[in-house]
Structure 1
Amino acid sequence: MSASTAAADLVAEARSKIREVAPREFRATAGDAVVIDVREPSEFETGHIPGSINIPRGVLEFRVDAHPAVANVSDPALSHKERPIVVVCRTGGRAALSAVNLQRLGFVDVRSIAGGVLAWGEAGLSLVVR
C-alpha cells in the first residue's frame, strides 16, 4: 500500500464518521456555527470563508479549546463542546480528519464542508482574500 493510498483510506474512513455539508446548504443553515479553517496560514490568506478562523490542522487539538470563538459562549452554563463547529480545508480531506478528532475530543456538533474552499468558490460563494 502506497503512502497516498493510505492517506486516501484514512480520509475515506473519516468521512464515514462525520457529517459533511454542501457549501450552499451550510451557508443557508450556518446559524451560530464557528467555522474553523484548518489550512496553513499562507493558504488561509489566499482566500477563506468570511468569518472563519484559522487554526492549522497540526495544532488544532491543542488550540481549539482555548480559542475565544469556540469557548466564548453566551450562557456560561453551556459547555463550549456543544457549540456547532464546521471545519473546512482546501478540498475536504484535512477537514474530515480534523472533524473526527474534534468528535473524539468531545465536541458534539461537528460538520465538514464537502469539497472544502474549492467547492465553496465553485458554488459562487464569496471568499475573503488578504
Structure 2
Amino acid sequence: MSALPKKEPRPTGITVFAILYGIGLAGSILLIFFFSAIPFLGNSGSLGMLTPFLVPIFIITGIINGVMMYALLSRKSWGRTLIRALAIINIILDLLHLNVIGIIINAVILWYMGQSHVKAYFNVDS
C-alpha cells in the first residue's frame, strides 16, 4: 500500500487573499445592483448616464474576483500565475499613475506568491 502525498496546509496569506477577493466580489455585486436600480429611481441625472458603462465593468470585476477566490481556495496553479500577472499589470499601471501605495502592495503580492511554502501549496516547482 503506497502512501498518498502529503497535502500542504493552506498558507494564511492565501486565505487572506481569498477573503479579499471575496469582499471584492461582494462589492461588485452590490455596485451592480445599485447602478442597475438608478434608472428606476427617477431623476438620476449624470449618474444614470454612466450606468450602461459601469455595470459591465463591475460584472467583469466580479467575475475576476470570483475566479481568483476559487483558484486560491482550490489550489489551482493557474490562480497563482494569474495573481502574479495581475500584480505585474497593476505595478505598471501604478507606475504610470505614480501610485506608490499600489506599487508597494503589488510588490508584496509578487514577493509572497514567490515564497517556497506558497509554491509548495500550489505544487509549483519553480
TM-score normalised over the length of structure 2? 0.27
Larger Rg: 2
Structure number having the greater strand percentage: 1
Report 1 or 2 for greater relative contact order, CA contacts < 8 Å, sequence distance ≥ 6.
1
Structure number having the greater helix percentage: 2
TM-score normalised over the length of structure 1? 0.26
